[in-house]
Structure 1
Amino acid sequence: MTAPERVEHPPDAEALAFLTRPGLTRLWTAARTRLERNGLQPAGTLKLDHLDAQEREALSLLLARPISGRTATVRLPDLDSRLRASAVGRGLASTLEELGPPLTDRRAVRDAAAAERARLWSTAQAEVEATSLSAQPWTAQWLEEIRRSGTLPRQEPHTATTVITQAVQTLATLFPGADARPTPASWGRGELATRTTGSAHGLDDGTLLSRWVLRGIALARDVEFPGDAPARRALWRMASVTPDEVSSTVLAYGLRPIGGTWREAALRERADHHMETHVTLRELRALRLEMPQRTRVHVCENPRVVEAAADTGRTAPLICTSGSAATVVLTLLDALAATGCTFAYHGDFDWPGIALANRIMQRYEAEPWRMRAADYEYLAIRTRTQVTPQIALTGTPTEAMWDAELAPAMDALGVALHEEAALDLLLEDLG
């Protein structure tokens, strides 16, 4: 037969009055500290020094042995047994619970915290390994800095997991691998936050997530972590993130949408007066960019083409990427594509220009606009004949998806040609 479980009852009033006498206060304080460190087990020995008469008397009665000196040694197993056998009728841990606040198993707390830290870092590392960050040389330092800061374990577990996961996803979005699907070259911060956190305010200043993302950007760009708001905005821009939806604009010309609001009417009026327009992302969200079916829209890389088109009164719709496929640029082109517009693209004859052209042509099935090998060779010969200073072609060769002969021709001649070299020809095409 198994022994019946011992049921501990609260001490009676007389026993409780004895336990709470001032002469035992130091004993209970020391015992509480030791038990909380020992996993709530009554093990080890306490030494109480400089005892006064009141303490010696109380300890003598409690331990059932005379305490006459200024120092007393108390074995916690003996104290536990003594309490159980006395009128108190319960062990040391239960007695301390009765006398004061609940005991904290600090060893268990430490073990749980260590396990939680291990789980969080395992989660973080797994998230990194599943993204393009695994190939970034600064990722290990970023994780180590977060670990050393001690910030992560202080968060509620669900919050900590969410924030570290979102930080990894945000940085992976900003620094995609070579084989990643095309993403905007720049983002509005609210747009990026919505993409990676579900909330447009997820990357607002002062949030833990924004600090961790900025720390990753600083490491990626090899700059100091920003100490003030202007420096933080500058760092966001270093990662092609604009803090709002009005700072980033797309340069447009000759757009004549058929929508009936004042916004569409303003674009038509500016087109009639041969005036270019800088359109913000916020404006694009409000515009109804419905165009006549099969409207042919020309897309260029450099603002000088738009300026020249306006100066010479050209009428064809023209969009400028300003050297990058920023979010606001793609937003406008997406809206035009949705109404059935077709596109023709021209950019610089250099390797970054070819890479950008690939993105635009692939995304919108755009036709090359004087961007074939024959066009490049003609311009290269013409600039040389005109004794125009030549710009050396540098960087890693990039194959043009629309013309297999273009990259070899550029590599062979080794000359970079900006759009301005073809400006007269482009203006002819713009009518």
Structure 2
Amino acid sequence: MTTHLDAVARYRGAEYRRLFAAARRSLERTGWDLSGTIGVTNPDEAERNGIIGITGRYHRAGIKRIEITLSELDAAVHTATGLSLTELLEQIGPKLANRPAEAAKDATSREEALRPAYQSSLYQTADWYRTWLNELSRDGTLTKLLAQRETMHIVAQATRVLEFMENRPKSSAPITLPALAAAVTHNTKALNHGISLSTLVIRALATRAGIPKPTTAEERRDLWDRFDVILDDLASRVLVLNLPADGTGLGEWLTGAARFGTPFYVTLHQIINHPITIAAPVVYVCENPAVLRRAAGELGPKALPLVCTEGRPSTAFHRLARTIAAGGGELRYHGDFDWPGIAIATNVFERHEARPWRMSAADYLGGLATGDDHVKLVGRQIPSPWDPRLSQAMCEHSKAVYEEAVADPLLADLQGPAICTR
């Protein structure tokens, strides 16, 4: 006697696999609608006989495609097993999905998750905020958060963080990241890197600033600092030489170091907690500490004010640059003649309205003439808007010229009168 289980087991055979796979795809796509038609293309002999056995309809050998309506297959399955087609497919496994129902549920969940964000005052007043929300909906971020069951509260929390930052008085002192997290979520670690809430807020801030999403710790630190949120005010630092300043604490230390022509590291913590003013009309900026070291060793206190980014500018550098600009000072920047160096220079020029310092095509070609041991340029060509011929010349010669190789003319520019120590 053939049992119910025997009938189900029979339909697990290889001869039925493609037929039931086609039925599964159609049912899942249409929400278990039985009005469609499915088929098996170029069936082998076992598949042909299996379909004949299910439907009772003959199909000749060598037929190119056998088609069957889902309603007919459902009736045949029910006669053989007592189960509907959908019940049989679930018995065979895996569980049958209902894509339209799932899509509708996801849409409802997304709508519920975004409702607090749409009700925010930022939605009416800030283009960047609407762009951020649209991107979250468009690029799959919300779908991923839904799968992790985080969306319902994470988006609302991110909105509250952004509102808190937007509504802080402009005159407020910078706030630390843990303090910001606690003020909004009552959890000091809620905005730590890698947590979904932090990721959402960082994306919003990058959109607001009109820059790409940060990928490094320094870029994240700098982005938070743009909005007066401090991550690690001790790790971020900048190297300076002969930069006297007014102000207790840091101002006194800088002025004392300048008196002796001594290089001095300034941390972001010092800049924030010991406000200074800088009255230097011109401050030179280099990329490599070897240049500053030579200036200190050869010129000492006679060198003009010099700041070193030590590669990609830190948050401390950007803060110090803003302080210099606020005092009426002008930055003049020089860096490596390679593609990362051009990118750094572009950022400094655009962000701080700095001027190029021996960063022309002629300066690059002059550096090439100093020797033949220059390394090959690598990476993608980057334009040099302040002198388009520079990028063209670098691409043509395909050689990098590092700052140390052209330090002599830089030091000649830095030769000046002794720093006033007031």
Pairwise TM-score range, normalised by the shorter structure: 0.5 to 0.7
2:316 paired with 1:325:
no
2:340 paired with 1:352:
yes
Q: In the alignment, what sits opposite 1:81?
A: none
Q: Among 91, 100, 113, which residue is 1:120 paired with?
A: 113
2:283 paired with 1:274:
no
Q: Among 395, 398, 402, which residue is 1:418 paired with?
A: 402
Q: In the alignment, what sits opposite 1:145?
A: 144
Deviation at 1:332, TM superposition (A): 0.2
The C-alpha deviation readout for 1:234-272, integer Å capped at 9, x for no partner, is x9737643842111111111111133x243121111112
The C-alpha deviation readout for 1:305-361, integer Å capped at 9, x for no partner, is 222222223421111122223322111000011111122110111122112212222
Q: Among 344, 355, 372, which residue is 1:367 paired with?
A: 355
The answer to whether the 8 A contact 2:242-2:255 is kept is yes
The C-alpha deviation readout for 1:174-226, integer Å capped at 9, x for no partner, is xxxxxxxxxxxxxx9936996xx896988842469962046679xxxxxxxxx
The answer to whether the 8 A contact 1:296-1:344 is kept is yes
Q: Among 316, 327, 332, which residue is 1:339 paired with?
A: 327
TM-score when scaled to structure 2? 0.54
The answer to whether the 8 A contact 2:191-2:198 is kept is no
Q: Secondary structure at the match of 1:143?
A: helix
Q: Among 348, 354, 367, which residue is 1:379 paired with?
A: 367
Matched residue type, 2:145 = I
Q: In the alignment, what sits opposite 2:281?
A: 295
Matched residue type, 2:236 = S
Unaligned runs of 5+ in 2: 1-103, 164-173, 202-214, 222-229, 416-422
Question: Could you tell me how far apart the structure 2 residues matched to 1:136 and 1:189 are?
Answer: 30
The answer to whether the 8 A contact 1:166-1:209 is kept is no
> What number of residue pairs does the alignment pair up?
274
2:265 paired with 1:265:
no
2:189 paired with 1:190:
no
The answer to whether the 8 A contact 1:255-1:267 is kept is yes
Alignment of 1:390-401 (within 5 A): 390-401=374-385
The answer to whether the 8 A contact 1:276-1:310 is kept is yes
Q: Secondary structure at the match of 1:392?
A: coil
Give percent identity, aligned residues only.
28
Unaligned runs of 5+ in 1: 1-110, 170-187, 218-234
Q: In the alignment, what sits opposite 1:131?
A: 132
Alignment of 1:174-185 (within 5 A): none
Change beyond 3 A, Cα 1:146–1:407: same
Q: In the alignment, what sits opposite 2:389?
A: 405
2:217 paired with 1:237:
yes
Change beyond 3 A, Cα 1:136–1:340: farther
Deviation at 1:130, TM superposition (A): 1.3
The C-alpha deviation readout for 1:32-54, integer Å capped at 9, x for no partner, is xxxxxxxxxxxxxxxxxxxxxxx
Deviation at 1:393, TM superposition (A): 1.4
Change beyond 3 A, Cα 1:151–1:409: closer
Question: Could you tell me how far apart the structure 2 residues matched to 1:202 and 1:409 are?
Answer: 55
Q: In the alignment, what sits opposite 1:58?
A: none
Question: Could you tell me how far apart the structure 1 residues matched to 2:185 and 2:407 are?
Answer: 43
Q: Secondary structure at the match of 2:240?
A: strand
Alignment of 1:38-187 (within 5 A): 115=108, 118-120=111-113, 130-131=131-132, 134=135, 140=140, 142-153=141-152, 155=153, 160-165=154-159
The answer to whether the 8 A contact 2:116-2:156 is kept is no
Deviation at 1:366, TM superposition (A): 2.4
The answer to whether the 8 A contact 1:346-1:369 is kept is yes
Q: Secondary structure at the match of 1:382?
A: coil
Question: Could you tell me how far apart the structure 1 residues matched to 2:287 and 2:265 are?
Answer: 15
Q: Secondary structure at the match of 2:331?
A: strand
The C-alpha deviation readout for 1:87-113, integer Å capped at 9, x for no partner, is xxxxxxxxxxxxxxxxxxxxxxxx999
Matched residue type, 2:132 = T
Question: Could you tell me how far apart the structure 1 residues matched to 2:314 and 2:137 are?
Answer: 23
The answer to whether the 8 A contact 2:106-2:143 is kept is no
Change beyond 3 A, Cα 1:283–1:149: same
Question: Could you tell me how far apart the structure 2 residues matched to 1:240 and 1:114 are?
Answer: 32
Q: Secondary structure at the match of 2:328?
A: coil
- Pair member with larger Rg: 1
The C-alpha deviation readout for 1:35-77, integer Å capped at 9, x for no partner, is xxxxxxxxxxxxxxxxxxxxxxxxxxxxxxxxxxxxxxxxxxx
Q: Secondary structure at the match of 1:383?
A: coil
> Aligned-pair RMSD on alpha carbons?
4.3
The answer to whether the 8 A contact 2:377-2:400 is kept is yes
The answer to whether the 8 A contact 2:192-2:198 is kept is no
Question: Could you tell me how far apart the structure 1 residues matched to 2:137 and 2:378 are?
Answer: 24
Change beyond 3 A, Cα 1:283–1:168: closer
Deviation at 1:286, TM superposition (A): 3.2
Q: Judge which range, 406-415 or 240-249, deviates more.
A: 240-249
The answer to whether the 8 A contact 1:299-1:346 is kept is yes
Question: Could you tell me how far apart the structure 1 residues matched to 2:241 and 2:150 are?
Answer: 50
Deviation at 1:291, TM superposition (A): 3.0
Matched residue type, 1:150 = R
Deviation at 1:364, TM superposition (A): 3.1
Q: Secondary structure at the match of 2:266?
A: strand
Change beyond 3 A, Cα 1:367–1:192: farther
Question: Could you tell me how far apart the structure 1 residues matched to 2:105 and 2:271 are?
Answer: 51
Q: Secondary structure at the match of 2:337?
A: coil
Q: Secondary structure at the match of 1:146?
A: helix
Deviation at 1:168, TM superposition (A): 9.6
The C-alpha deviation readout for 1:135-188, integer Å capped at 9, x for no partner, is 999x52x433321222343x4xxxx5432446899xxxxxxxxxxxxxxxxxx9
